[in-house]
Chain A
Amino acid sequence: MSISPNEVPFAGTVPSPKTENEGMITGSWRTRRPILDTDKCTECLICWISCPDSSIKSTTAGMEFNLKYCKGCGICNEVCPVGAISLVPELDFED
């Protein structure tokens, strides 16, 4: 989990716009994994705009989570108006 100090961007700042920061991988913070029920999802994008880690992407296949950075905060689950996102204990998944 630790990286060499020269790899850490100065003051933790990265050039914008950027969606991934190799110096700050937060996936290991996650204790619960968001799981999408595609049948319920209306693709309203509320979760997309609410995710503090920009870990939700809108793709042609629907909403996708970037588990390398998702820290399992559960905000997406709170804000989804149709209850399409559930939180499952991370250790239930072997990957």
Chain B
Amino acid sequence: MVSSNKLFEEPGLKQITVWARGVYENKEARDVVVALTEAAAKEGKYVQAWENYVDLPDRIYVPVRAYGKISDQPIESKYVYENETPDIVVLTEETLVKGIDILEGIRPGAVLVVNTKRPAEYLFKFITKGTENLKSIITVDASSLAKSIITLSGAEGATDASGIGKGLGAPLAAAVVKATGIVTFENLLSIIANKQAAKTAYDKAQVVEVKRLVNAG
């Protein structure tokens, strides 16, 4: 019998956690996971995308999370409600590095993608926990490429007709693809609405190895 702590040890599974600010960036968090999982589904992967209901009802600025899972095997942990061991963490807003345990549970080799104008070196100072498993920090000034779209359709986006990746979600998803290659960029582009923002972000996103930041002290 499988021991219970190995129950969901799924080698092919990648977990994506996006942190955002309530109300203002709900759609953007949702769009990052939806765009990446839809692109992965095109590649024949098994996928899931959903919201963390613990964070709801969301209020303005409250940190909220959206989750995605991508696997080349059927997802056994389908009903596990939160991403406990993320491989990819995305922040739709830079201040989320401060005072929030954004890297909780990350697996070795995880990456952090941040929407910011600031250099990774500066952001790194605020991240106090979980950096030993972090491989790189990817910074992209997504806010200069697209806007956050407030849809008032809540975290689930039931009535959101603006299109996947119409706003900030497009450049952020592009930065994830640049850093991880989790899907091909072409497949991502075929899903998202704001293709120009995604292309620019893909070119401009800066990847900084955490090893280098630690050595620089």
Contacts and interface: CB of A to CB of B under 8 A. Distances in A.
A29 B118 CA distance: 20
A89 B143 CA distance: 15
A63 B60 CA distance: 25
A13 to B, nearest CB: 16
Interface string A55-95: 00000000000000001110000000000000001110010
Nearest to A28: B99
A89 B96 CA distance: 12
A31 B101 contact: no
B101 A90 contact: no
Nearest to A89: B95
B126 interface: yes
A30 B61 CA distance: 7
Interface in A15-30: 26-30
A2 B105 CA distance: 14
A55 to B, nearest CB: 14
Interface of B: 21-22, 54, 59-63, 93-95, 97-101, 118, 122-123, 125-126
